[in-house]
Chain A
Amino acid sequence: MGVRTTVRAIAALPPGALAAVALLLILAFPAAPAAEEGDEIEEYVETRELVVVVNRANPATSISLADLQKLFLGKRALWPNGWPVNPCDLAEPGLPEPQTSRAQFSQRYLNKDMTTLKSYWIRMIFSGKGHPPAVYPRTGQVLAHVAADEGGLGYLPRRSVTDRVKVIAVIDNTAP
């Protein structure tokens, strides 16, 4: 079947098909709220340096990049000492999504943009394999999450780190 035949076949479809396309398009593009940007946001994003934090009781002092990816992608459920891993994300609501800590962490450490990351989690959720980490809008909530659970894992701008949690180094051992 050639292109012409296919085009003719599509053209032969009754108006119902075209109406269906129109209805689905209308439903698919609802108005989206506009994002706000400002000088303070730009400064925050430009000066932010994300570091990986764990609970102070966690004996780990460093983590390999491959292991970090597995922990944040739900492919590891336990720390080496057997504690259940409980990761969390930070996504500042005032920022455009690509500039959130979650997006930057995902791009830098997980090698995934947000679209790819979300697609990944959709597949994980609906195949019964796991669910994404909790997402918090404020650094204080990430601190509280990691400090409250000995298996806690998160990331923060370095200037937001307090002695409630412990910073661990990430070692990139995935390069050939």
Chain B
Amino acid sequence: MTLYELVTTVRFWVIAVMAALSAMVSPAPAEAIDLDQLHVYGYIDLEYKQTTSDKYDRSGPDDANMKNGSFDQRHFNILADFEIVPALIVKSHVEFEHGINPGVGDASVVLEYGFVEYVAREWLKARGGKMITPYGQYNEIHDATPAYLTVTPPDTIYRSEDYGGFTFMPKWITGAAAFGNVPVFQHHHDIDYIVYIGNGESRSTINESEHDDNESKALGGRVQFTAHDESFQAGVSAYYGDRAISRARMAERHFAATAHANAAYGDFSARGEAAYSELGQWRETAWYLELSWRIGRFTPYARYETLDPDTDVSGDDWTIMLAGVNVRALDMLFLKFEWNQHDRGPANSDIITGEKDDYGEFRAALAVLF
């Protein structure tokens, strides 16, 4: 059986399962929501960024000059889970980013995820809808600033397109997934998995997961081991799909893989990840190592991350060393201060001047969870 036939077969069964799920859900008449079954969460954050260089900017709305420094009402996000019956749950996450004002700047409203989830067995659950791609250990929480110590996740993997590379993997997948967890080692620990099929990427830069402009569907998954007390976790993720780059190149092969691990010992934590991606003949790699030490409400942290945006080109690496502190001022209120030192090779395609450039960037954020 060829890969195409395999995908076609998988697609048929996924559609059949989703149709069956829809039939189970849709006949029910609309009823008032039982608030006991509704769980609503959210977060809001305010960021401040200022660089020591006025040459480059990747992060500011409206291409603001970051040397001037700028506040950014970065996220206002609402999540709602509704349990239709105990085994059937609808989950949603809506994001209002950069103080959205229609028609102005790069602000956006995004359905981060919206899917229905069915629990058949511990080892077999199903999900259908738009989801954040399960990839590595940051993508699924990539915008949820209260969920991680630093101001942003490792940019060299999760925003590589802003650092001279291409997107390691699509941030969203619209399609269906099967997932679950299996106890291992005398039932003490767990291995969890997720496999999915979806649209993959399209030429659209606005909402590329919502439609497919090539006939092959994207496939991917992740498997990871977790200790029973969460003190250690390690896993691998992979993605395979076609990506249309232009009308002439509608089906460039995009493959991505990453391996990650994290460990906690008392108040000390370490996490790392190494990623590889290829798009047609273009290959990129990146990795990071992050360490932190909790001291009461204060958690100092440091991270080293580096991206080689094109393995065939030398001198194009982009390295970021950052150090900062996360302050848990209240249970649901976090304050972050950090210094990022950027080191960009002269051959990096994101460089306008063609000169090697090092620059610093001060970042601060206030994140509130509710």
Instruction: Verify that A and B bind, or say they do not.
Output: yes
- A residues with a Cβ closer than 8 A to B are 1, 6, 9-10, 12-14, 16-17, 20-21, 24-25, 27-30, 32, 64-67, 69-70, 73, 75-78, 84, 86, 110-112, 115-116, 118-120, 122-123, 125-129, 131, 151, 173-174
Contact residues in A for B144 (Cβ distance below 8 Å)? 122-123, 126-127
| Docked CA distance A60–B141 (Å) | 36
* Docked complex: B106-123 residues within 8 A CB-CB of A: 113, 115, 119, 121-122
Closest-by-CB residue of B relative to A124 is B147
| Docked CA distance A118–B334 (Å) | 12
| Docked CA distance A12–B333 (Å) | 29
Contact residues in B for A20 (Cβ distance below 8 Å)? 48, 50, 69, 71, 364
Contact residues in A for B328 (Cβ distance below 8 Å)? 115
Q: What would 27 A/B residue contacts be, using CB atoms closer than 8 Å? A: A1-B358, A6-B339, A10-B360, A14-B50, A17-B69, A20-B48, A20-B71, A24-B48, A24-B366, A28-B335, A64-B187, A66-B187, A67-B187, A75-B181, A76-B122, A78-B121, A86-B86, A112-B230, A120-B230, A122-B144, A122-B147, A127-B141, A127-B144, A128-B132, A128-B140, A131-B81, A173-B187
Indicate if B159 sits at the interface (CB-CB under 8 A). no
Closest-by-CB residue of B relative to A78 is B122
| Docked CA distance A9–B362 (Å) | 10
Indicate if B253 sits at the interface (CB-CB under 8 A). no
User: Given the known A-B contacts A118-B331, A123-B147, are A16 and B339 also in contact in the complex, defined by CB atoms under 8 Å?
Assistant: no
Contact residues in A for B16 (Cβ distance below 8 Å)? none
- B residues with a Cβ closer than 8 A to A are 39, 41, 43, 46, 48, 50, 52, 68-69, 71, 79, 81, 86-87, 91, 93, 113, 115, 119, 121-122, 125, 131-132, 140-141, 144, 146-148, 181, 183, 186-190, 192, 226, 228-231, 264, 294, 327-331, 333, 335, 337, 339, 341, 343, 358, 360, 362, 364-366, 369
Closest-by-CB residue of B relative to A114 is B331
Chain A nearest CB from B295 CB (Å) reads 11
User: Given the known A-B contacts A84-B119, A131-B41, are A14 and B69 also in contact in the complex, defined by CB atoms under 8 Å?
Assistant: yes
Sample of 14 more A-B contacts, CB < 8 Å, known A9-B360, A77-B87 = A13-B50, A16-B50, A16-B68, A17-B48, A17-B362, A27-B46, A66-B188, A70-B228, A76-B122, A110-B229, A118-B331, A123-B147, A126-B79, A128-B93
